[in-house]
């Protein structure tokens, strides 16, 4: 059976929470739930690192504006993780070239990361902080659920991931105005901080 569905699904999930994907796949492999998980992902140092970073993201992802800063930092990290996991999965199965799997996993992760980051910008325009927590929990549960499902039914999981990706891109199109509002607010905050710093440095 081709590993392509699992590569696509893990790529989509990596764009949302790469550390959760690495941690879950590693745990599934180490516990014997799946034989399709490469040994690299099962190594203790990989699991510990992914676990610590997952906890850091779990906190940062629920704080308004901090989540968007975290997303900015991970614009390269998540696609790279998706490509890395995809290449490892392909190397494990031998049914797909490492390069092709890396391109599929990385590009899918980049697309889902764009949806996540854009959606968070729109959510941050809301005056209350609860939306961030709700959206973050939904993302974490979604990633956990679909990666787990992919271990037992990769084709169906890939279809779900594809539907979620298309739906997310469509939603992002309708949130453009909110995203622009977020960017204006962030630029305004930076300008206010710059002016405040200049005032503090200026002589009395």
Give pLDDT tens digits for 113-168.
Answer: 999 998 888 888 777 778 889 999 999 999 999 999 999 999 999 999 999 999 99
Residues spanned by the domain of 112: 4-201
Burial class of 169 by CB neighbour count within 10 A (0 to 12, 13 to 18, 19+): middle
CA-wise closest residue to 132 among 192, 191, 81, 69: 69
Supply the pLDDT for residue 196: 67
Render the burial of 85-122: b for 16+ CB within 10 Å, e for the rest. Answer: bbbbbbbbbeebeeeebbbbbbbbbbbbbbbbbbbbbb
C-alpha 144/C-alpha 21 separation (Å) is: 8
Strand segments (E) across 26-164: none
| pTM to 2 decimal places | 0.84
Please, what is the end-to-end C-alpha distance for the chain in angstroms?
74
Q: How many domains is the chain built from?
A: 1
Supply the pLDDT for residue 137: 93
Burial class of 159 by CB neighbour count within 10 A (0 to 12, 13 to 18, 19+): middle
pLDDT tens by residue, 6-31:
999 999 999 999 999 999 999 999 99
Q: Are 96 and 3 in contact (CB under 8 A)?
A: yes
pLDDT tens by residue, 104-117:
999 999 999 999 99
C-alpha 84/C-alpha 194 separation (Å) is: 39
């Amino acid at each position: 059976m081709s590993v392509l569905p699992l590569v696509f699904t893990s790529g989509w999930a990596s764009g949302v929470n790469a550390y959760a994907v690495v941690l879950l796949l590693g745990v599934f492999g180490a516990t014997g739930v799946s034989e399709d998980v490469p040994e690299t992902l099962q190594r203790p140092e990989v699991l510990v690192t992914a676990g610590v970073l997952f906890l850091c993201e779990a906190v940062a992802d629920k704080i308004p504006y901090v989540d968007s800063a975290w997303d900015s930092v991970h614009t390269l990290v998540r696609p790279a993780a998706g490509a890395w996991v995809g290449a490892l999965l392909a190397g494990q199965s031998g049914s797909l070239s490492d390069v092709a799997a890396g391109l599929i996993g990385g590009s899918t992760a980049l697309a889902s990361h764009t949806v996540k980051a854009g959606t968070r910008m729109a959510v941050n325009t809301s005056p209350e902080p609860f939306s961030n927590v709700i959206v973050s929990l939904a993302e974490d549960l979604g990633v956990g659920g679909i990666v787990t499902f992919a271990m037992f039914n990769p084709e169906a999981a890939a279809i779900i991931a594809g539907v979620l990706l298309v739906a997310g891109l469509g939603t992002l199109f309708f949130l453009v105005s909110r995203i622009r509002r977020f960017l204006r607010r962030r630029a305004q905050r930076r300008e206010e901080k710059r002016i405040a710093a200049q005032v503090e440095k200026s002589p009395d």
